[in-house]
Structure 1
C-alpha cells in the first residue's frame, strides 16, 4: 500500500456536485493499493500515520500527531498512485489492485485508522469521479509505502 499524506488547513471531497466529506485542520490521505497488499500492510500504515509527528507544538516544531493536534482525517482511494510511466506517454495502472481486492482493504484501512486515532475518518466514494479540494499546510507532503517500511 502507498499513501500520500498531506497536512492540510482544510480539505473536502465532492462527487456529482455533492460534498461527501470535509475536514478542517488535519490530514488528507491518498491511498493506493496493490494486488499483494493485505491486512499487515494496512495495519502498519494506519499505525504509522496515527503516530506520525508532523503537526507543530508550542515552539513550532513538528512534534505532535494528528490526534495530539486535534486534527481530522480524510482518506481517498487513488489507484493512480501505482501508475507506471516507463513506456510511452499513457500511464499503465496494471500495478494497482482491482476493485474486488482494493475496496475491502480501503474500507478496512479507514476502520483501522479510526481505531488507531479514536477519530472518524472522512472518505471519498470508491471508484467515483471525485473532486478533491485541499489547502495544503506547510506544505507538508509525505509518501509512505508499506513495502518499503521507511
Structure 2
C-alpha cells in the first residue's frame, strides 16, 4: 500500500490512478483526506529528522537507494530548533541548526556518532557528516528560504 501511495500522479490524468501523490505531497485518493495529507508529510519529515528535547537524529530512515541525494530546509525539531539537512550518495553532507527563541544543548546523532552541541539562540551552526561544527554566524531572516 505504501508503494502505491508514493506514485506521483499528474492532476490532469487523476482518473487513470487509484491513489498516489501529487507533487505538493497531497494524496490523490478521493475523497480529500486531511489525515493522509498531513500524515504523509509528517512521516517523511520523521524519516529525515527525529528529535526529542535533548536529542536530534539525522537521516534515521533515509531510503538511500531511492533518495540518494537531496536537501530539506526548515524542518522543525522539538525544543524550538530549525533544521536544514543535505545528503549526497546516501550520506549526510551538511546540517544547519538554529533556534530563534532559546539557547539549547542538543545531542546530535548520525550513524553511531554522537556529539553534544551548544546552540545559542540567534546563531546558525553548520555541521559536516562527522558532526564537526564548521561555522557559526548570526541568523538573518530570509537567509534560508
TM-score (normalizing by structure 2)? 0.27
Name which structure has the greater RCO, CA cutoff 8 Å, separation 6+: 1
TM-score (normalizing by structure 1)? 0.26
Structure whose CA Rg is larger:
2
More helix by share: 1
